[in-house]
Structure 1
Amino acid sequence: MKRRSVLSLPAAAALAAPHLTDALAAAGFEGPSVVTGNLPVFHERLKDELTFPLAWPRAHDRDFRGWKRRARHQFESLLCEPADHTPFAPEIIDEQAGPGYRRRQIVLDLTRHSRVRATMLVPDGPGPFPAALLLHDHGAKFDIGKEKLIQPWYDDTRLASAQAWATRYFSDRFPGDHLARNGYAVLAVDALGWSDRSGLTYENQQALASNLFNLGSSPAGLMAREDARAAAFLATVPEVDPRRIAAVGFSMGGYRAWQVAALSDHIAATVAVCWMTGLKEMMVPGNNTLRGQSAFYMLHPGLYRHLDIPDVASLAAPRPMFVTGGELDPLFTAEGVAVAHAKLARVWSDQRAAHRLRTETWPGLGHVFTAEMQDEAVTWLDRHL
C-alpha cells in the first residue's frame, strides 16, 4: 500500500502564511499595525476631512453677529450639558483681612447639582472693582485647584502643596493675590475632580469621562457650563463692576479662559496663558494630547467637524484677548501656535479690532506663567479694563 504524507494544520498554516500575507497586501489589507502611538494609520486622512466649515470667514457669511450666533449655537449644542439658571444662593462663610484686600470664602450653588466652596479676594475700599475669574490648570495634580491661584489661608496642608506649585510655575507667586494687590477682585472655583471636589486620579479620568457620557454629560461640557456660571456669579457680587470682568487662566486654565469668553458675555477681556493651537497641528505623533486621560477635559465630541480651536476662541471677538505662552512649551507645536495666532488675528482684524488682540510667544520659556508674564498681563488688563 502506498504511503501518504500527512501535513499538520499548524505546519500547513506556516507554509501558507507568506502567500497569505502577500495576498492580503495585494488586496490593500489594512493590518496588522493599524493603531500606533494611539492613532489609527489613517489619521492623516481623517484630518484632511476636517475643513472647519463654520469658521469665520466664509464667502457667503459676512454678517459677523449672525456668524457668532450660529457658531455659538453649534458649540453649545455639543457641550452635552444644558445651560443652568439655578439661583446661586451665596453665603459668605469666612472673611479675613489680608494685605490690601479681604480674603473671603463663599458657598454657592454653582449648578443645579453642585453647591461648592469658592475663594475670593476683594481689594480694600468701596469699589466697584474690575474683576478676574481665575481658571486653574490641570497638571495631573488634583489635591489643589483654586488653591493654585489664590493662596489658601484656610488650610496648611493645601498651602504647602500650593506653594510648591507656585514655585514651579508662577515664580513663587499666587497670580490671584498679585491681581488683588493691583486692584482686582478675584474669584476661583474648583473644577470637578480638584481640591474640595476631588477623588480623581490620573488613571481614572477615562472612566469618569465614559460614565459622564453615559449619563448625558461630559467632563469638558460640564466644566464649560460651570465656568460660565462662575462668570455670571462674579457679575452679581456688589463690589464688582459687571462690565469689567476678565477671564484669566494658565494651561488648561488658559483653555478655560478663552472658552468661557466664547460662551459668556459677562467676560469683557481674556488672558489665556499656555493653551492655544490649531487642532490638526496638535494631533501629531508624540503629542501629550494623544495619551487621552487629561484630554477629556478639553474634548467636545464632534466640535472639530465644524470649528477649529482658534475659531471657538474667536467667538469672543471683538472683545480684548491676550494669548501668550512659552516658545519651548512641549505641549504645543510651533506650527500649531502660529496657525492659531494667524486665525485669531484674521478675525479681530476683520472686525477692525486688531488693537484688542495680543498674541505673544516668550523666547526661551516653557510651560510657565512667570512673574514677568504676570506683570505684563496686569498691565494689559489695566489698559483694557
Structure 2
Amino acid sequence: MICMIQFDEKKYIRSVQSKLVREFDYRLPMKTGNWQEWQYNLRHKLAEITGLTQIRRHSADVPLAPLIAEIVEYGDYIREKIYIASEADVEVPFYLLLPKHAAQPVPVVLCIHGHGKRGKEVYAGNYDSEEEREQAVSEDRDLAMQALSQGYAAIVPDVRGFWEMARREDLDAGKAKSCDDLQRISLLMGRSLIGERVHDVSRLMDYAESRPELDMSKVMITGSSSGGAVCVFAAALDERIGLAAPGCYFCTFEHSIVSVHHCICNAVPGLMQYAEMYDVAGLIAPRPVLMINGEADPLFPIEGTQLSFRHVQAIYEQFGAADRCELFVGNGGHRYFINRVWDFVKEQWKL
C-alpha cells in the first residue's frame, strides 16, 4: 500500500497568510496622518502590479479614433453603438444611451457587466428574447435602463473576455467567456485582465469628455460581480470617477477570491502583499461609494463583506466623509440590488 499525505489547501493558505505583512495596510497612516501620501503610493503600486502603468505607457499616443457604427432612436432615448481604440490593435465596443428630454449636460453612468455570454447587450437593454429581458429585470441587471429612468446617460461597454471582446474560437465552441486564456497571456506579459479592463474604462471616460451632452463632473460607475470588481479598481485608480456602486463583489480577498472558487480574471499578481480589498476601496475616499451585496451570496460571504466594510468606514472617517460610505445588504444571493442605488446617488450629488 502506498502511503499518501494529501495536500491541505486550507492549512497552506493559513501558513502563507500568516507570513504576509501588507505594505500598504491602511492602519499605517493612522499613526502618521499621511493619508494623501498613502493613497498616492498605493495607487502607484496598484497601477504597477495590475499592468496598468505599462498599458498606459504603451497606449499614450494611440488616438481614440471613435467610430459610430449605429444610431437607433427610441421613444425616450437615443442609443449609439461606438468603437474606440483602447490601445494599439484593441477596439472597445460600447453603447452610449442618451435621454431625450433631460436638460444637458447630463450625469453619466458607466454600467459594467459581469460574467455572461452576451456582455453589454443585456445591461443596455438589447435583449434577444423576452426570457432574457425578464431575467435581467428580475435581477436588476438592466442598469442602463435604470440610469435613463433617472435622467442620466449610460455608457455600456463589453468587458474584455466577453461577447465582442471574447475570442471568436471560444464563442464558436459555445463558451461564454475567454477569461482563462486572456488572463494567461496577460500575466505572461506583465499585465492582468483587471488592469486591461480598468484601462478600457479610462479610455471610455476620455471619449466621454469629448461629448458636450455629458456632465463629466458627475460620473458614476456601477456593475455586478466581475463588473463590481472593475468598479472598485477603476474608481481606485481613476479619480475622474466621482461615485462608485459596486454590486455583489465587495468583501475581503481572504474571504472571497482566496477562499472561494472564482474566475481567474479576479487575480492580480502579488496583490495581497500590498493591500486587502478594503485598502483598495480606501483609494476611493473621500468620493462617495455604495457597496451592494446579498446576505446569502456564496461567492462573497456576507461576514467578509461586513468586516471589510468596517475597515472602509474607518478610512472614510479619517477623511471626514463617513456619510459618503454605505453598505446595502439585499435579501438574496449573488445578484445586483437596485433598492438603495439611485436614492444614494441623488443624495450624494444633491440632485
After the TM superposition, which residues 143-292 of structure 1 pair with which residues of structure 2 at under 5 Å, given as runs? 144-152=118-126, 158=128, 162-163=132-133, 165-167=135-137, 169-170=139-140, 174-199=142-167, 200=170, 201=175, 205-282=179-256, 287-289=260-262
Aligned AA for 1:130?
Answer: P
Kindly indicate whether the alpha-carbon contact (under 8 Å) linking 2:235 and 2:284 is maintained by their aligned counterparts in 1. Answer: yes
* 1:77 Cα deviation from its structure 2 partner: 0.8
Indicate whether 1:94 and 2:64 are aligned.
Answer: no
Q: Which runs of 5+ in 2 are unaligned?
A: none
SS state of the match for residue 365, structure 1?
A: coil
Deviations 1:348-379 (A, max 9, x none): 111100011111212x311222xxx4252112
Give the Cα–Cα distance (whole angstroms) in 2 for the partners of residues 74 and 68 of structure 1: 10
CA displacement at 1:189 relative to structure 2: 0.8
Q: Provide the rounded CA distance (Å) in 2 between the counterparts of 1:246 and 1:175.
A: 12
What CA deviation, in whole Å up to 9, does each residue of 1:292-336 have, x standing for no partner? xx1x22111111101001111110100000012111111122321
CA distance in 2, matches of 1:234, 1:165: 30
Contact 1:310 1:343 in 2 (8 A): yes
Q: Percent identity?
A: 21
Structure 1 position 191, deviation (Å):
1.3
Query: Which of these two proteins has the greater Rg computed from alpha carbons?
Result: 1
CA distance in 2, matches of 1:123, 1:205: 33
- In the alignment, the residues of structure 2 paired with residue 211 and residue 93 of structure 1 have an alpha-carbon distance, to the nearest angstrom, of 30
Is the aligned partner of 1:320 residue 2:288? yes
User: 1:202–1:119: structure 2 CA closer, same or farther, 3 Å change rule?
Assistant: closer
CA distance in 1, matches of 2:133, 2:68: 25
- The question of 1:349 aligning with 2:326 is answered no
- Does residue 57 of structure 1 match 2:34? no
**Offset at 1:196?**
1.4
Show the 5 A alignment for 1:6-85.
32-34=5-7, 36=8, 39=9, 41-58=11-28, 59-81=30-52, 82=54, 83=56, 84-85=59-60
User: Post-superposition shift, 1:209?
Assistant: 2.2
More moved, 118-127 vs 256-265: 118-127
Q: TM-score, with normalisation over the residues of structure 2? A: 0.88
Query: Which residue of structure 2 lines up, in the alignment, with residue 133 of structure 1?
Result: 110
1:85-117 deviation per Cα after TM superposition (whole angstroms, max 9, x unaligned): 332122322222223221111121122231232
Residues 209, 96 of structure 1: CA spacing in aligned structure 2 closer, same or farther, 3 A cutoff? closer
Quote the RMSD (CA, aligned, Å).
2.3
- The answer to whether the 8 A contact 2:224-2:247 is kept is yes
Name the CA distance, whole Å, in 2 between partners of 1:282 and 1:375.
24
Q: Distance in 1 between matches of 2:216 and 2:106?
A: 9
Aligned residues: 336
Q: Conserved in 1, the CA contact under 8 Å of 2:161 and 2:182?
A: no
Q: Shift in Å at residue 148 of structure 1?
A: 2.4
Unaligned runs of 5+ in 1: 1-13, 22-30
Residue type of the alignment partner of 2:78 = R
Correspondence 1:111 to 2:87? yes
- Whether the 8 Å CA contact 1:151–1:159 is kept in 2: the answer is no
* Pairwise CA distance, 1:281: 2.2
Q: CA deviation at 1:60?
A: 4.8
Paired letter, 2:25: A
Residue type of the alignment partner of 1:120: L
